[in-house]
Amino acid sequence: MALAKEIMGSRLIFERSSLASSRLSIKKKTQRTQLSFNPFELRPMKAAFSGGVVAAISEDLVKTLRSNTIGRNQEKKEEEKAVQFKVRAVVTVRNKNKEDFKEALVKHLDAFTDKIGRNVVLELISTQVDPKTNEPKKSKPAVLKDWSKKSNSKAEKVHYTAEFTVDSAFGSPGAITVTNKHQKEFFLENITIEGFACGAVQFPCNSWVQSQNDHPAKRIFFTNQPYLPSETPSGLRTLREQELANLRGNGKGERKLSDRIYDFDVYNDIGNPDISPELARPVFGGREFPYPRRCRTGRPSTDTDLMSERRVEKPLPMYVPRDEQFEESKKDTFAACRLKAVLHNLVPSLKASILAEDFANFGEIDSLYKEGLLLKLGIQDDIFKKFPLPKIVTTLQKSSEGLLRYDTPHIVSKDKNAWLRDDEFARQALAGINPVNIERITTYPPVSNLDREIYGSHLDSALTEDHINGHLDGLSVQQALETNRLFMVDYHDIYLPFLDRINALEGRKAYATRTILFLTRLGTLTPIAIELSLPKSKRVFTPSLDATTYWTWQLAKAHVGSNDAGVHQLVNHWLRTHACLEPFILAAHRQLSALHPIYKLLEPHMRYTLEINGVARQTLISADGVIESCFTAGQYGLEISAAAYKNRWRFDMEGLPADLIRRGMAVPDPTEPHGLRLLVEDYPYANDGLLLWSAIQTWVRTYVERYYPNPNLIKTDTELQAWYSESINVGHADHRDADWWPELSTVDDLVSILTTLVWLASAQHAALNFGQYPYGGYVPNRPPLMRQLIPDESEPEFASFLEDPQKYFFSSLPSLLQTTKFMAVVDTLSTHSPDEEYIGERQQPSSWTGDAEIVDAFYGFSAEIGRIEKEIEKRNKDPSRRNRCGAGVLPYELMAPSSEPGVTCRGVPNSVSI
């Protein structure tokens, strides 16, 4: 030990210098030289030797002295090689807040068996290879201390220690293996190694470690130091490949919930033909219905249809890799929302079985937010007398009236009648929950892109110049087109191919809609015409002139809202963010090592996405699920989504600037801050989105240039190329031959691809998701389905419409049961959980990477996000921005980065997490 102390000196720890002030601009790595001194390596002190003999001596004596000196040096080297010393590991394990009886029992059993040798065992692995064995250098196994003593700790995090024995030639620590000999899994958050000359060495883990009984192989965790594949230290190369092979699996068998295997499959688990032929659904993914791929579960096929996979129904969990499952606080938030949804839906279900199921008037809708649900219905006593409800429900109703009351949606919180105004209807195309469909009109009347051989002259628009001439502020139609004053929200081609089947469904009626909007001199929009198309007829509605046209205009706007709600949910939200990101996430886990710098960049933007997509397959997009029950398209909803994927989705158009230019909402302009000029200057979604897009792009470029100083490193990065190739050729197999996929050969290519992915996972998803209840929770504002078409004078329904237009309006909207079910679901989807991680934040912000300059750059990115938030607050108070500020006008906060938990209509999480 004395020699070990001499080798280690005074055990000086070289602490990294504190981070400089936040900045985004950092120097590139222009070269990657191998230093002769490794800061992780322990270097023996030079032995002092005095050989200054000056007297004349014989040649034999010189030979003898030389021989003795060499012998002593060899002995000293051998002695130094044999020197061993200890380093300490501090292991952080996260406790569960709640445990059921079985978990508690197993925990106590593990505490007992830990005392008799069934421990958690760690082994430290060097970055160097032992030249004698050609294997990585390893420490002796070390056992976590005091597991049994700390087993009853109620702390959120418990710190354990272990001591490793290594020798002076061990080199740099690069990996740790962990073996769990207990029966119960545990969540390993972090391991810190102390005792090397370089200071503390960090191993970010954030993973569940399974019992050896379930998964015999040792778990592998790497240091936070990033390495490109070609730069992987020799001691880590085999482990790097081995860990990726573990994550890929072999593509066979049914997955267990404890597995960590990432693989691809088609959407063949949406239907349940074994229960009923009516619940059979096609396979999505393939030639007939192209679709992105989802996470493979390996469940057996159904008895009825060998091409369909057997479903797992709630409350049983759907397989996703163990580390992708919700953490405890997220589960609790989701469970609370589910209970609230059940209670909100239970009472309307009972009422619908004994009373009329339509709303009678606007006051009845308003009372959903003002009173306890049963009090609002005025039937609480009757309900509880006629139906023997579980005691918990009656108790909740009596003691927690607030739980049975809906929160007031933002759209009616400032002005309860705002939704009725035409300017508000149009404003939401720029600043509502679905601001990504509005486009500039270049040809009037608009032209369909559907196949004329199939649809013939029925594709011709019924819109004429006469419909809009009186609404153009004195301009001709041509002048309005030339001055970029005409815009449109066009759902004609999306819905028309499905209308016959949708309108054959019970209680569903839909048109294919086009809405023409005019840009006023104030910078606001106003609707000037709505075209409603059926396969063989079309009608055009314009702003009201009298009482009758007032109500037909309101009905026309409601049908537009229904189209909008369906496209928003099925295409823009579910398809373009949730489903289309999943292949990139699966491929990242399969092809990018945790050591890879690009994996470290993407990691926070992949959190919870596989789990929430699995939940969606169970309850949202499944046969007879929420979307089929609550949206106009019914069972054809996913077919509409698949058609949009086939005909409209292009990865190269998913970035914000490209999308704005494609829709004609902006034109390229290198003199503008973001390289483009918006044609509607006050376009809150685009205004705020471009701030976030630019911040993300700058951060990504800083990061990429750090590790790829020349394009050849990108071309020869085997893991990076495999990730991108698999994302396209397997994950998006139905588009693998498309010519629009970006190349991956240069820094600019990689920056563009990564910026688009981070944008979609964070800001784009937030803009499309967290306003669902604030805007859609008041169903008349944008009803998810319509039950009646608008009658004309030749139809018998027209008389009842004239007699009581408000009653007809409500009979066209969703029923009470459909409304409350929809409200409960979008309330859940709009809720931030307490463990949400927002853009500009990371778990372990100072240690997620071992590259100090990148940590510094990330703090600079975080600071920029903070500045953007202040700018958004400033814009929302600017009265010249009429689309986000004014009497009764909602501020646009869906791009505001931070949020409190709950339904806030703001906040940009890092990932698609709900």
Q: What is the pLDDT of residue 73?
A: 55
CA angle 351, 355, 356 (to 5 degrees): 110
Q: What is the pLDDT of residue 283?
A: 98
Token pair, residue 417, equals 């009648």
3-state secondary structure of 237: helix
Q: What is the pLDDT of residue 824?
A: 85
Query: Which contacts (CB < 8 Å, 24+ apart) does range 888-893 have?
Result: 888/414, 888/415, 888/418, 889/414, 889/418, 889/424, 889/427, 890/410, 890/411, 890/414, 890/431, 890/774, 892/431, 892/684, 892/685, 892/688
Which residue, among 10, 195, 175, 192, has the nearest Cα to 85 in the 3D structure? 195
Q: What is the pLDDT of residue 33?
A: 36
* Element of type H or E holding 88: strand 84-94
Q: Which residues are catalytic?
A: 573, 578, 765, 769, 914
Token pair, residue 848, equals 């997620």
Do residues 696 and 229 touch, judged by C-beta distance below 8 A?
no
pTM: 0.89
Block means of pLDDT (10 residues each) for the chain, 914 residues, are 37 35 43 35 32 36 46 49 84 88 84 87 96 93 92 90 91 96 95 90 96 95 98 97 97 96 98 96 97 98 96 92 87 64 52 60 82 44 40 42 72 94 98 98 97 91 97 97 98 98 97 98 98 96 96 98 98 98 98 98 97 95 94 97 98 98 97 95 98 98 97 97 98 98 98 98 98 96 97 94 96 90 89 94 93 97 98 98 97 98 96 95
Give CA–CA dist 428/424, Å, rounded. Answer: 6
Q: What is the pLDDT of residue 380?
A: 41
Which residue, among 203, 175, 210, has the nearest Cα to 189 in the 3D structure? 203
Q: What is the pLDDT of residue 366?
A: 85
Q: What is the pLDDT of residue 327?
A: 86
Token pair, residue 826, equals 């979008």
Residues 6+ apart with CB under 8 A from 336: none
Q: What is the pLDDT of residue 115?
A: 84
Q: What is the pLDDT of residue 343?
A: 54
In DSSP notation, 743-771 reads P-SSHHHHHHHHHHHHHIIIIIHHHHHTT
